[in-house]
Amino acid sequence: MTRGEWRDCRNGLLFISPWIAGFLVLCLYPVITSVYYSMCDYSVLSPAVFTGATNYRDLFTDAIFWKALYNTAFFAAFSIPLGVFISLSLAILLNFDLPGRGIFRTVFFLPSLVPMVCLAVLWQWMLNGELGLINNALKPLLHLLNSLFGSHLYPPNWLADARFAKWGIIFTGLWGVGNAVVIYLAGLQEVPRHLYESAELDGAGFWSKTAHITLPIISPVIYFNVIISLIGSFQVFAVPYVMTGGGDGPDRSLLFIATYLYQNAFDYWNMGYACAIGVVLFFMVVALTYVATKLSERHIHYSGK
């Protein structure tokens, strides 16, 4: 290495050192200690006692943990595809060159600016079984269906009924698609216009252009959004926590992994057990991200490649 290269290297390290220090102290150290505490009986205020794999053994036989895992997986399995579909559809529509486009883009982005707690309180009332706007809209529709077909359909008690509670949270989450829409819009603007023109000359319609040009070109953006949603879904906490008043929802249907972790750490004085949940959650997210990367490898087209 020449003297100039050494100097550049030193300066580079100096400039990046605040980040490295922050990463080591605020990220790496807590992660390493969490792994250690996950193998301890640790109540925060009394000394941690090493118990080996006990927390993990207990975790795998803990029915509430499995319930929380199921709820989280269910939420992720439906909220990610729905979120991607709705945000991508909105982005494509908002990408059309129409008058008032800017206003529509703002309108669809606005709900993302609402703080999560306000969002949760608002939707708590929207989904109210007796007085909620959603059920008041559904009532005449179901009444019509009942009178036509002699059925006995009634609007669900969204957050009070275990069969519908998770759907309530999924719909609430869809309000925040504005962020993803903005990212998709940025991706859509990068699609070269000449490809559409060539396709149009060959007689391609809207669907063909979307399937064969738009989606392949913005596939890295879709991939990015899916991974971010995957991580976000496995960490879902604030909205169900507020909507259930800090509880688990009917029949624990709104108990998610992050909520269970929080309860163990701060309500039950089981920080060691909470760390074990955190470690399992970390490896699950890593594994799922790896699987998503592998599965999508052949379908993602990077422009540089």
Partner 1 sequence: MAWLALAACQRGGAPTGGKVEIEYWDKWTGFEEEAMRAVVEDFNASQSRIHVNFSSVSQINHKLMLATAGGVPPDVSGVYANMIPAYSENNALTPLDSMAAAAHITREQYIDIYWRMCMHRDHLWALPSTPTSIALIWNKKLFREAGLNPDQPPRSIAELEEFNEKLVKRRPDGSLQSIGFLPESPDWWDPMWGYRFGGALWNGRDAITVNSPENIAAYQWIASYPRRFGAHDLMAFRDGFGNFASPQNPFFNGRVAMEMDGVWVYNYIKNYAPAGFEWGVAPFPSSDPVRLKDVAIVDLDALVIPAVAKHPAEAFAFIRYVNSRKPMEKLCLGQRKFSPLLACSPDFLRNHPNPWIGEFLALAKSPNACYAPPLATYTQFANDMSDAVNRIWTGKSSARAALDEVQLRQQAVFDRSLERWRRLAPVLTREWSAQ
Residue 49: enclosing H or E segment and its boundaries? strand 49-50
Q: What's CA 84's distance to the chain center, in Å?
A: 10
Query: Rounded distance, CA 59 to CA 122, Å?
Result: 35
Per rule CB under 8 A, is residue 243 in the interface with partner 1? no
Per rule CB under 8 A, is residue 250 in the interface with partner 1? yes
State the minimum distance, in angstroms, from the CB of residue 114 to partner 1. 21
* Residue among 122, 160, 183, 238 that touches partner 1 (CB under 8 A): 160
State the minimum distance, in angstroms, from the CB of residue 12 to partner 1. 30
State the minimum distance, in angstroms, from the CB of residue 279 to partner 1. 19
178-189 vs 63-94: helix crossing angle, rounded to 10: 50
Kindly tell me which of 61 and 303 has the beta carbon lying closer to partner 1. Answer: 61
Kindly tell me which of 49 and 144 has the beta carbon lying closer to partner 1. Answer: 49
In the numeric block, the tokens 């991508």 are attached to 88
Per rule CB under 8 A, is residue 48 in the interface with partner 1? no
Choose one: 14-22, 41-49, 206-214, 278-286; the region binding partner 1 (CB under 8 A): 41-49
N-to-C CA span, the chain: 31
Kindly tell me which of 136 and 208 has the beta carbon lying closer to partner 1. Answer: 136
Query: Rounded distance, CA 222 to CA 296, Å?
Result: 10
Per rule CB under 8 A, is residue 46 in the interface with partner 1? yes
In the numeric block, the tokens 């980040």 are attached to 19
Of 136-155, binders to partner 1 (CB under 8 A) are 154
**C-alpha distances out from residue 182 to 112, 113, 217, 228, Å:** 11, 13, 16, 14
Per rule CB under 8 A, is residue 247 in the interface with partner 1? yes
Per rule CB under 8 A, is residue 129 in the interface with partner 1? yes
DSSP H helices, the chain, are 3-22, 29-37, 54-60, 63-94, 101-109, 116-126, 133-149, 162-174, 178-189, 193-201, 206-209, 215-217, 219-234, 238-243, 257-262, 271-296
State the minimum distance, in angstroms, from the CB of residue 157 to partner 1. 4
* Residue among 40, 263, 276, 281 that touches partner 1 (CB under 8 A): 263
* Residue among 267, 287, 291, 299 that touches partner 1 (CB under 8 A): 267
State the minimum distance, in angstroms, from the CB of residue 266 to partner 1. 5
Per rule CB under 8 A, is residue 49 in the interface with partner 1? yes
* Residue among 243, 248, 274, 276 that touches partner 1 (CB under 8 A): 248
**Nearest alpha-carbon partner for 276 in 39, 106, 52:** 39
* Burial (CB count within 10 angstroms: exposed 0-12, middle 13-18, buried 19+), residue 206: exposed
Per rule CB under 8 A, is residue 128 in the interface with partner 1? yes
Per rule CB under 8 A, is residue 303 in the interface with partner 1? no
In the complex, the residues that contact partner 1 under the rule CB under 8 A are 41, 43-46, 49, 63-64, 128-131, 154, 157, 159-162, 247-248, 250-252, 263, 266-269
